Amino acid sequence: MPLGVHVSIAGGIGNGPARAAELGCDTFQCFGGNPRGWKQKDISDEEVARFKSELKESAVAVSVIHASYLINISSPEDALYEKSITLLTEELLRAEKLGVDYVVVHMGSSRGAGSDFAIGRVAAAIRRIAAAHPGLKTELLLENTAGSGETTGARFEEVGAVIDGVGDAPIKLGFCFDTCHAFASGYPLATEEDVASLFKEMDKEIGLSRLKVIHLNDSKGALGSRKDRHDHIGEGCIGDFGPFLRHRVVGELPLILETPKKKPDDDPRNLALVRTLLASGE
């Protein structure tokens, strides 16, 4: 299965594929621009060409852009909601230009307006994007959240309801599953029984065919703590990652680490541990 990390785009997004390849990754994720800014720089044709040729030369099979953290398509405030739709549209168009497979987005927070409001709001935003730019090749992936600050998507039923609300709008729409967020929002992951019931529920509420990417992170927060704090694999509260990694559903899916990067050997160490866990099941 493709295994990779979130890489920096310092010096230009064209550096992304080579950074992933250096770590022996066959998939990677990066930001499409500054994840904390509303104004994203246009990508030049040279940068697009460089990204595409680096991608072609590398062993990278699947590429992912993580959309800006500022986007809040659950917001009850019209100004923020409109800005969020504009920025998410830009993220998708940029990814399409670069030939990136997926854009992952957090659905944001309704700030007290409630889950039903948030579900309708997110679905309407996606329908609008689909109507304005039908038939994009890049697929939009909704990510589950840890549930702090009333974020939309902490439970699978919310993600499923958004997908139902988008209906047959002309957009490719899937799901990105984050292990840290799931654990923090109350889904245990350490035993074979935990993992079996997790995927059973995901299948019922979202449909396993929608699952396209996995964010593989340990959790600094306890089960149900609603804390979005990632930890190194095996060093947080989740426990044994073996049963999860060996489950048949995880089999062919791209796995992307978003674990802390404090020291130069952090990514290589986490990657090596995951490779060992994957091999131990063969």
> Out of 90, 158, 178, 205, which one is annotated catalytic?
178
Active site residue 143: yes
Among the listed residues 158, 63, 39, the one whose alpha carbon sits nearest the alpha carbon of residue 108: 158
> Out of 150, 158, 218, 228, which one is annotated catalytic?
228
- Return the range that interacts with Zn ion (CB under 5 A); candidates 116-124, 126-134, 183-191, 221-229: 221-229
CA atoms within 13 A on the CB side of 220: 9
User: How many CB atoms sit inside 10 A of residue 247's CB?
Assistant: 16
Residue 158 as a binder of Zn ion (CB under 5 A): the answer is: no
* The one among 54, 101, 139, 178 contacting Zn ion by CB under 5 A: 178
Q: How far is the CB of 40 from Zn ion (least distance, A)?
A: 20
> Out of 6, 19, 50, 66, which one is annotated catalytic?
66
**Which ranges in 58-178 belong to alpha helices (H)?**
78-98, 115-132, 156-166
Q: How far is the CB of 102 from Zn ion (least distance, A)?
A: 12
Q: How far is the CB of 202 from Zn ion (least distance, A)?
A: 16
Among the listed residues 78, 85, 81, 64, the one whose alpha carbon sits nearest the alpha carbon of residue 255: 64
**Which of 178, 231 has the CB closer to Zn ion?**
178
* The one among 228, 259, 267, 271 contacting Zn ion by CB under 5 A: 228
| CA gap 119, 161 in Å, rounded | 7
Q: Cα dist. 279→26, 194, 243, 282 in Å? A: 16, 21, 12, 5
Point out which residues pair with 211 in neighbouring strands: 175
Total number of residues binding Zn ion (CB under 5 A)?
A: 3
Positions touching Zn ion (CB under 5 A) are: 178, 215, 228
